[in-house]
Structure 1
């Protein structure tokens, strides 16, 4: 399932974790960086790097990061943008 939503806090990550069964695996991809951008249309975009995402994930005690990696955006003219990919398992 692909959700096109922003992640403003650990509350969304907590809700997604609750939806997982024990030992369930979750993949999340977020824009790489350390900023929060609010667009004129009201949309909120949160960027995470390894450290800021781990701080967010640590608030969810039954969620363990299995793998974390950074990839280049493959869309045309976005080669200078990156994504943080995270694979996690519910304990």
Structure 2
């Protein structure tokens, strides 16, 4: 369902997200990274963030599940964006940073613990990991997309599925897109 949405609406989604100013969120994340660090943009969508990190001098790997989004992101970033899902992640201790901006929210709640573990495995010890979810609690469908919303309590409960990561910071923000009024739960995680 969600994949079909992005396949059929890739250009519209790209156009609506590619120029959103995410610099305040980038700063929260990148201050934990050394120059030239290796970063994974997991569920990269338009490639906006992968491009920004690449331009900052980081080594960036990016993937998305939608072949249409992969094509647009590859063209936008100049990077070799991979088509894969979170379930396909099999890297071990490979990344200094992982960026999951508005991407994990499409994973069904019952699959999230497994996905969290796969991504935790890909993160180096002491690595930093940014995640964001629409603020709320529970699963819903909207406009042909599946969402798993999180609040502070449900997110802390989710993280109990892996002992390797802990919350560095947890905060709420307003949607960065001017026409949207949604609240987002943001988290920076570190790997022990």
TM range (shorter): 0.7 to 0.9
Cα distance between partner residues in 1 of 2:152 and 2:140: 18
What is the Cα deviation at residue 39 of structure 1?
A: 4.5
Consecutive unaligned residues in structure 2, runs of 5 or more? 1-40, 44-102
What is the Cα deviation at residue 38 of structure 1?
A: 2.8
Residue 35 of structure 1: aligned partner? 138
Consecutive unaligned residues in structure 1, runs of 5 or more? none
Q: Which runs of 4+ in 1 moved over 3 A?
A: none
Residue 7 of structure 1: aligned partner? 107
3-state DSSP of counterpart to 2:163? coil
CA RMSD of aligned residues (A): 1.6
Residue 158 of structure 2: aligned partner? 56
Greater Rg over alpha carbons, structure: 2
Correspondence for 2:128 among 25, 30, 48: 25
1:7–1:13: 8 Å Cα contact kept in structure 2? no
TM-score by length of 2: 0.43
Counterpart check, 1:82 vs 2:183: yes
Give the number of equivalent residue pairs: 89
What is the Cα deviation at residue 11 of structure 1?
A: 1.2
